[in-house]
Amino acid sequence: MAQLPQTQVPGVYHRRVGDILLTTLEDGFQDAPMASVVNIPADEAVAMMHAAFRPVPRRTPVQCFLIRSAGRIALVDTGYGPVKPTVGKLAANLAAAGIAPEEIDTILMTHLHPDHFGGLRDSTGQAAYPHATLHLAAEEHAYWHDDRAAAAEPDATRRAAFFTQARLALAAYAGRTQTFNGVQEVFPGVTTMPLPGHTPGHTGYLIESAGETLLIWGDIVHVQEIQVARPEAGMAVDVQPLQAEDTRRAILERAARERLTVAGMHLHFPAIAHVARSGEGHALVPEAWSSAALV
């Protein structure tokens, strides 16, 4: 009998948006206690996970996205890095997609949390993408360099993991970091969409080409089984919880109204979906996997 496989096939999925090619790249997953989901009774949150046949504590996927447009290559977020066995798979999946780190000329950051910036540096602390220019919102850059904001974080371990490590990650791209404000084109066919709350400069990226549109919405939801139907449910790491809720409600409504295709860092692979109205709220409808996506 042949030896049974020990790993899954590469976490790589291609999808066209007009003339632009979007590729989902899996970085892995992390398990987190249900206490990290806030502003909803714990028993209700657990019941929703059970109803969706999902494990408790919550298991949250981590995805990154590659954008190929006009002969250039951009990477949206860089995953967690290999800090534990369940994450840090971006590098292998990037290789499986046939892309070397040196080919990436642009990195677009949705925000600076460890599961998004962790892969910016290699094992030596140097930039993992030596030819890439890093783009992020000016508010995001300012917040993680704000000593008063850092001092306000009472947990020293979390302060180091978030503030200190974010600064080190950005330092690796000193001299080739560009900040933006509001809505602007940062890559051919890709414009920024401010989605503040989860962090002050949390940003989505709207891809538009040949009459087609897709929004990479970053961390609008972490636990799709709960937060789409119950947008008041936030995360313990939300910097501005009320604003995060308002932003989540607004983007869910816009996606449903405009039939906008969305992609999210914490949606289940391949992490592309639609939002439909359901009663007085919304439901997530995963896009069907297609082998014809490149035609």
Residue 295: is its pLDDT beyond 80? no
Kind of pairing between the strands at 133-137 and 106-108 = parallel
> Given this model, what pLDDT does residue 246 score?
98
Residue ranges of domains in the chain, CATH in brackets: 12-286 (3.60.15.10)
Give the C-alpha distances (Å, rounded to integers) separating 79 from 57, 233, 258.
21, 24, 29
| Banded pLDDT at 293 (limits 50, 70, 90) | low
Give the C-alpha distances (Å, rounded to integers) separating 150 from 155, 160, 167.
10, 9, 11
Q: Which residue from 245, 250, 281 is spatially nearest to 39, judged by alpha carbons?
A: 245
Burial category of 53 from C-beta neighbours within 10 Å (exposed 0-12, middle 13-18, buried 19 and up): exposed
Gap between the Cα atoms of 64 and 93, Å rounded: 10
pLDDT per residue over 36-75, tens digit each?
999 999 999 999 999 999 999 999 999 999 999 999 999 9
pLDDT per residue over 273-289, tens digit each?
999 999 999 999 999 99
Average pLDDT over residues 257-266: 98
The pTM score is 0.97
> Given this model, what pLDDT does residue 98 score?
97
- Assess contact for 67 and 190: CB atoms under 8 A: yes
Residue 82: is its pLDDT beyond 70? yes
- Assess contact for 125 and 167: CB atoms under 8 A: no
Q: What are phi and psi of 283, to 5 degrees?
A: -135, 150
Question: Average pLDDT over the chain, rounded to whole?
Answer: 96
Average pLDDT over residues 87-111: 98
pLDDT per residue over 118-171, tens digit each?
999 999 999 999 999 999 999 999 999 999 999 999 999 999 999 999 999 999
Gap between the Cα atoms of 190 and 184, Å rounded: 8
Strand order, beta sheet including 281-286: 185-187, 190-194, 203-209, 212-216, 261-263, 272-278, 281-286
> Given this model, what pLDDT does residue 290 score?
87
> Given this model, what pLDDT does residue 292 score?
76
| Banded pLDDT at 220 (limits 50, 70, 90) | very high
Q: What percent of the chain has pLDDT over 90?
A: 95
User: What are 1's strand-pairing partners?
Assistant: none
